[in-house]
Amino acid sequence: MGVQHLLKLRMASSHPHPGAALTTRPLSSLASFFLAPSSTTARSAVPPRHVTLSCSLPRDYHWTAKPAAGRCSVTVGRRLPGVVTMSSSAPPPPGSVQKEEEEWEAILSPEQFRILRLKGTEYPGTGEYDKFFSEGVYECAGCGTPLYKSSTKFNSGCGWPAFYEGFPGAIARTPDPDGRRIEITCAACGGHLGHVFKGEGFNTPTDERHCVNSISLKFIPASEEETSKL
């Protein structure tokens, strides 16, 4: 459609009498035709209202930088500058130990490595602590994390050391692949301890039996424990 024709249409639409004769206008009016602000443009010129947006996050989230206006950016995992990280709801206990299996094999005896890292089992009745009831604390033989008080140890007659509870947060529980038993491991280093059984009828406060390999433990006598605190 030509420019002259567009101009004529605009002037015709603005004439008060549709039947009247069309008056020709100079081409200089073309600029006002294209540059005149439309109603939409006029409305967009009005400054927008200020809107405040907020972000609501669970309590276990925390900001590491101020979020951009109206947007929340959440990154789960390793902390990076200017993003949000999620704190673990169950952090590992202090002194957690992370080693490659080659490192464990270098610092553990062959039997310790077989049981702690390869989830083996010692023969019943052969363990050092099976019928051992001195006062003190049992630590993980792999990383030294305190696991059990001697006061929680009892004679179950099963052939392995038995405890009815560990230190809070020190023992991790994982169902065996076949779902028949619950494995217990050191929460700090993942070393295999044995299995836990419940509801066997032992006269203990928890009615649980932590069946632990002696080789997975290291006993610290009460006298040495008190000395280490000084």
Give me the active site residues, please.
211
Give one DSSP letter per residue of 89-112, joined into a string: SSPPPTT-----HHHHHHHS-HHH
- Is the CB of residue 22 less than 8 Å from the CB of residue 38? no
**Burial call 9-32: b when 16+ CB within 10 Å, e when fewer:** eeeeeeeeeeeeeeeeeeeeeeee
Going through 91-191 in order, the beta strands assigned E by DSSP cover 136-140, 146-149, 153-154, 162-163, 171-175, 182-186
Cα gap 58→86, rounded to integer Å: 9
Secondary structure (3-state) at 200:
coil
| Alpha carbon distance 142, 216 (integer Å) | 7
